[in-house]
Amino acid sequence: MTASLEQLRRCHFAVDLGAARTRVYVKGAGLIVDQPSVAAVNTRTGALIAVGEFAEKMTGRTPHYIRVVRPVSGGTVVDIEMAQRMLRQLLGDKVRRTLRRKPRLRAAACTPHDSDPLAQRATMETLVGLGARRVELVDTLIAAGVGCGLPVERPEATMIMVCGAAATQVAVLSLGSIVTAERIPVGGEAIDHAIVQHLRHHHELMLPSQSVRPLQLALSGNGLTSQGPTSTEIHGRDVATGLARSVQVDTAAVRDAIQTPLTAVLDGIGKVLRVCPPDLVADLVDRGIMMVGGSALLPGLDQMLRQATGMPVHIAERPDVCAVLGLGAMLEGRIEPLVLDPTAG
């Protein structure tokens, strides 16, 4: 699945199709698209009304004939045609005209670790529909490791945790390849869902998942530890009456509610460490875990991992865009040839 550096240097643009956001890097121009993976469609005419941030704001607020869809789920394209239309709209006419002038247009794309052949084919067909003559696939773990500056090409272990919206991927990297990895079907969406369910069951308050951010911010300070703010006010709809209502939510109870999905992440980290060679685990004692992905910014998640594993935990400088920036570095030829070399080591 992982392409060679020589193949990637021939690519003209790179795409990271995530469940939450879509990012596009164009060679020589940098990161030009960073928008939610959302599209709004008129079901009467089939016309595409909006994409990206504007379409996301329409979620739950549209008349019956406008449908807000997410063509990417869990890092896998589930609606190829809609994903192509969304990408065309996000790129814009000017960029698409520039790309079409390239002879034998090539593209690169991130795919989740251990994604099945059907998921890989869906990603490739999406980019072929944009005019790409060839599509190179790169494991998200490798791309994110390069993007956050980890020395993945060296013979020392580095551990990376990609915290996505739909899944969390954990891996130990060495000599430009994945030594051992685990994909946990728990991400930022699962944490949001746990918060929504807690408010529904304990406060009889209905809350759309896009409105849980204020409550997550209330967990800041020491985050998921017990020293954060004691309570915060949340607005929603009463389950029984349907009227708007505000409640004071105990943040300690919310922390307990999200422990279940976070425990699954800890179990995945433990599984990776148990099957990793002892020499590489010894390297990780000092190097620790590097967190990337949009959900890595969940307040206090790093502190919880630090306490549970006893290892240093770091958050990348720009965790949400590490994967696409890593692809961009490979396209621009800024990576040593040893990286991604299948014969390395």
Asked whether residue 231 is domain-assigned, the answer is yes
Which of the residue ranges 26-30, 67-71, 257-261, 329-333 would you say has the lowest mean pLDDT?
257-261
- Residue 128 and residue 252 in one domain: no
* 197-232 as b/e: b if 16+ CB within 10 A: ebbeeebebebeeebbeebbebbeeebbeeebeeeb
What 3-state DSSP class applies to 282?
helix
Residue 309, pLDDT score:
87
Asked whether residue 337 is domain-assigned, the answer is no
> What range defines the domain where residue 96 resides?
5-144+323-331
Query: Are β-strands 158-163 and 289-292 bridged in parallel, bridged antiparallel, or unpaired?
Result: parallel
Contact status, residue 332 vs residue 27, Cβ threshold 8 Å: yes
Which of the residue ranges 83-92, 139-148, 219-228, 296-305 would you say has the lowest mean pLDDT?
219-228
- Residue 307 and residue 327 in one domain: no
Q: State the distance between the two ends of the chain, measured CA to CA, in whole angstroms.
A: 19
> What residues form the annotated binding site?
294-297
The pTM (predicted TM-score) of the whole model is: 0.86
Asked whether residue 339 is domain-assigned, the answer is no
The mean pLDDT value for 205-223 works out to: 63
Residue 127, pLDDT score:
95
Query: Are β-strands 168-174 and 158-163 bridged in parallel, bridged antiparallel, or unpaired?
Result: antiparallel
- Residue 29 and residue 112 in one domain: yes
Rounded CA gap, 201 and 211, in Å? 17
Residue 209, pLDDT score:
56
- Residue 259 and residue 115 in one domain: no
> What residues form the annotated binding site for ATP?
294-297
CATH number at residue 90: 3.30.420.40
- Residue 295 and residue 166 in one domain: yes
Q: What is the mean pLDDT of the chain?
A: 86
